[in-house]
Amino acid sequence: MNQLSTRELLYLEDSSKLFESIQKTCNHAMQECADPQVKNLIQSMSGPHRQWIQSSASMVSGRTTMQ
């Protein structure tokens, strides 16, 4: 994989923070929600966000240690 520029790393870091915020919102909504169908919908939406968080965070942490 090519080396990422500082700008690209910053973008990934910002995206990672955004996804973490979305995940926290989803978790809070699941705790407050009483409707099981809505809870299932929120859970299905939070899964892909969790994957993005992990992959973007690993890219940033892996690249920043290389520079």
- Provide the residue-wise pLDDT of the chain in tens; the chain has 67 residues: 568 788 988 888 888 788 888 888 888 988 898 999 988 888 887 777 677 777 767 776 665 544 4
Q: Tell me if 21 sits within 8 A of 50, measured CB to CB.
A: no
Q: CA 51, CA 43: separation in Å to the nearest integer? A: 13
Q: What is residue 67's predicted lDDT score, i.e. its pLDDT?
A: 46
Q: What is residue 11's predicted lDDT score, i.e. its pLDDT?
A: 87
Sole residue written with tokens 């299932």 = 40
Query: Closest Cα to residue 28, out of 45, 44, 49, 42?
Result: 42
pTM, rounded to two decimals: 0.61
